[in-house]
Amino acid sequence: MPNLRFKRKPNLFCLQPGFSVETVELFLLHCCSVRSTMEHTQEQEACLEQTQRYCVQRPIYNQELLQGQLHRRQRTPQTLGQKIAHSCRCSSKKAKSHLYSFLPILKWLPRYPVKEYLLGDIISGISTGIMQLPQGLAYALLAAVPPVFGLYSSFYPVFLYTFFGTSRHISIGTFAVVSMMIGGVAVREVPDEIISLESNSTNITDVLEYYSARDTKRVQVAVALAFLSGLIQLCLGFLRFGFVAIYLTEPLVRGFTTAAAVHVFVSQLKYLLGIQTSRYSGPLSLVYTLASVFSKITTTNIAALIVGLTCIILLLIGKTINRRFKKKLPVPIPMEIIVVIIGTAVSAGMNLNESYKVNVVGNIPQGLRAPAVPEVQLIPAILGDAVAIAIVGFSMAVSMAKIFALKHGYTIDGNQELIALGICNSVGSFFQTFPITCSMSRSLVQESTGGKTQIAGALSAIMVLLVIVAIGYLFEPLPQTVLAGIVMVNLKGMLKQFRDIMRFWRTSKIELAIWVVAFVASLFLGLDYGLLTAVTFAMITVIYRTQSPEYRILGQIPNTDIYCDVEEYEEVKEYPGIKIFQANTSLYFANSESYTSALKKKTGVDPSALLAARRKAQKRHAREIKAANEHRKKAVLKLVSSPTNDVEASVKHEIASDDLPVNGKFADSSVQDMSPDEHEHFVEPKTNIHSLILDFTPVNFVDSVGAKTLKSIIKKYNEVGVCVCIASCSDPVTNELTRLNFFDTSVTRELLFHSIHDAVLACQVKDGSAAQADSNL
């Protein structure tokens, strides 16, 4: 064992081990483990001997003594007007900083290393653009709008993000989860009605006009969603509310996206099977969709099913090759665009639309649409959905951005990301785009193919622009079943998140509960209500954790100032008469009662029970004295009434004795013969604890209820002879207690100590002084 020395003087302590956290763990393991050989023991001891040491000699500090030796910095408080004037003050440096923050491209583009980055960005931009095309067309179907609007949403927002975004690697554009949420809102506001062409063959023109009008209205809903969600993101960004994403914890997001993947997969079954079904939204929409698909399963279009399954098989083979030969391939094989080209060629060559009734993409207008103002009258009906889409979209983008920033060693600004997404959505809505966010699959491709900056994103947007203005019409014969196959295969990564169940089962049951609630609620209540339910449940788990913390009694590692759980390690010992209590939570209204209950249970001292027992013992003793006095009084009266001389002598003797009543009461000779200690033990139950130390190291805040509870604890334990001290209370908590009028004449700052060891030594000194005073008496 290392040579540990510990010296204690009345008001000083000197300590000479230097322990890091790792060394403490090593020391405890060394103490608790069973040593098989003497050589292993010597190795452990040699390791501990090599640790650095420290020696500190200082007074025992309580809060009052420590603050008396420190000098606070003088700070002049600013008025509200001064703060506003300072924030509105402008200088060239401040203006330049704000401009660079609002337009990050001005900061990195002038320093762009062309020779090092340009080739990688070009290859990455082409690869990502090739993925943007089919995904933009496919995810437009999820959003319940014509496919061309998916191309618009793959161009304008991507190009805008190049100027305003802070992430260098994420790919902005259409995304399955957000598109599914958009589609649910569009279908709810513009319900889908199926009109049988066979029974109304004479009204085909009316049917086509109806579908055209329906699609136009759904586009208006999607565009209004983009405008409103963009404004919400802009407001949150300017108000510095980038932290809202932290409320979407990882288990919640993964459970939510898994449920969304199931929704997306089920919604694509009708395109894969080539059947006509209604589209549902809201609670139980998944059940209704499945029921509708199975009711029409007999009308499956075999040609559409064969084409879709063939595309799925080709995509799975291509992705497997890309994964297995990732290091050998210079760029991933663009199987999605290959499948789109093959599917378009086969459809055009075999005339699948007319010959086999296979649904195709249809008309793709050439060129860009003129800007138009979104339909603002739809805003009241879609406000809640826009908030959900804004938060989910930002959460997806910032999560992927943080992953790449950590991997490549740069930082992102969450508030600027909100502003960037808000601009992409709100400005894009004037050009007929629907809400967008970061795509996980495209972002991985953009990063893995050598992309270094958002130049790659701009190049992918230019590729989409070329398709829109030049060759978009070539994709009109593309079967919708091909797009459904692309969507289904791209869900593979999110569907693999079912493995999270086993992982969270092993690591954290509470996080597993969050995942399951997010998944089940989103699956059956819909993505909007499911997200709200999941966030609410996650908040409840936080409250549950603070209301159900771990309570521990601490003891000292011999000859150190380190204190650990006495139930965890064998070598940790408690000081006689001192209990050190720790709760790994803050003290506030929700857990103040449980804190008090746990304190009584862990320390074994219940002040209320002790006081009640004392009062009961005092009453019992008073009754015994009263009964004894009554008995003696009767005996005296009996002797007085006797006529014999012997009795008179006895009476005189009794009267002359010490049993005469004093102030109207007869004394109890048996009580008088007791020593003070025996009398106190007989009358008042006592505890063997003289000091209680509350470790406030984990406490982050205390509210008014917590302060009252703490004050009540101190007073009640003082009544039963237990001195309560508070150790390791941080300055913010101390200031909060001061504002809550916690300190007064009975509860002073002398009860606050800088560390647990300071409090322990002070309690020992006080107990020693009290014992010395008792011995002198």
* Predicted pLDDT at 50: 59
Q: What is the pLDDT of residue 1?
A: 39
* CA distances (Å), origin 149, targets 135, 189, 325, 367, 621: 12, 18, 35, 12, 92
Q: Which two tokens stand for residue 82?
A: 């001064």
766: left (phi over 0), alpha (psi -120 to 50) or beta: alpha
Looking at residue 374, its pLDDT comes to: 93
Least confident of 211-225, 453-467, 631-645: 631-645
Mean per-residue pLDDT for 461-486? 89
Residue with the bigger pLDDT between 316 and 54: it is 316
Neighbouring-strand partners of residue 691: 578, 723
SS3 content of the chain, % helix, strand, coil (to 5): 65, 5, 30
Instruction: Reply yes or no on whether the pLDDT at 652 is more than 70.
Output: no
pLDDT at residue 41 in the model: 54
Q: Which single residue is written with the structure tokens 């007319």?
A: 354
Return the percentage of the chain with pLDDT > 70, whole number: 83
Three-state SS string over 633-648 comes to HHHHHHHHCCCCHHHH
**Calpha distance 329→576 (Å, rounded):** 70
Higher-pLDDT residue of 526, 672: 526
273 has a pLDDT exceeding 80: yes
* 762 DSSP β-pair partners: none
pLDDT tens digits, 570-629: 888 888 889 999 998 888 888 888 899 999 988 888 888 887 777 777 777 777 787 777
Q: Name the range with the highest mean pLDDT among 160-169, 318-327, 358-367, 588-597.
A: 160-169
* DSSP assignments along 11-54, one per residue: SEEEE-----HHHHHHHHHHHHSPP--HHHHHHHHHHHHTS---
pLDDT of the residue at 624 = 79
User: 518 is written with which tokens?
Assistant: 């997010």
State the pLDDT at residue 769: 61
The C-alpha atoms of residue 690 and residue 667 are separated, in whole angstroms, by 33
Q: How far apart are CA 455 and CA 451, in angstroms?
A: 8
The CA distance from 319 to 336, in Å, is 10
- Please, are residues 447 and 172 in contact by the beta-carbon 8 Å criterion? no
What is residue 721's DSSP assignment? Answer: T
* DSSP per residue, 63-74: HHHHHHH--PPP
* Secondary structure class of 154 (helix, strand, coil): coil
Residues forming beta bridges with residue 173, ordered by sequence position = 437
The answer to whether residues 464 and 139 touch, using CB atoms and an 8 Å cutoff, is no
What is the overall mean pLDDT for the chain? 81
SS3 of residue 249 by DSSP: coil
Buried b (16+ CB within 10 A) or exposed e, 611-639: eeebeeeeeebeeebeebbeebeeebeeb
pLDDT at 64: 76
Cα atoms found within 13 Å of the Cα of residue 489, Cβ hemisphere only: 25
pLDDT over threshold 70, residue 40: no
Q: Which two tokens stand for residue 465?
A: 């622009």
Determine contact, residues 451/179, Cβ cutoff 8 Å: no
- Report d(CA 579, CA 573) in Å as an integer: 11
pLDDT band at 196 (very low <50, low <70, confident <90, very high): very low
Q: Return the structure tokens found at 562.
A: 């380190």
Sort 217 into a burial class: Cβ within 10 Å, 0-12 / 13-18 / 19+.
middle
For the entire predicted model, the pTM comes to 0.72
Once rounded to an integer, what is the mean pLDDT over residues 93-109?
A: 87
Q: Give me the half-sphere count of Cα atoms (radius 13 Å) on the Cβ side of residue 330.
A: 3
Least confident of 3-7, 158-162, 240-244, 370-374: 3-7
Cβ(232)–Cβ(422) under 8 Å? yes
What band does 673 get if pLDDT is binned at 50, 70 and 90? Answer: very low
Where does 33-175 have alpha helices with state H? 38-49, 63-69, 80-88, 92-102, 105-108, 114-142, 148-153, 156-164
Residues 6+ apart with CB under 8 A from 775: none
| Long-range Cβ contacts of 499-505 (<8 Å, 24+ apart) | 500/251, 500/254, 500/255, 500/258, 504/251
Residue pair 418/242 in contact (Cβ under 8 Å)? The answer is yes
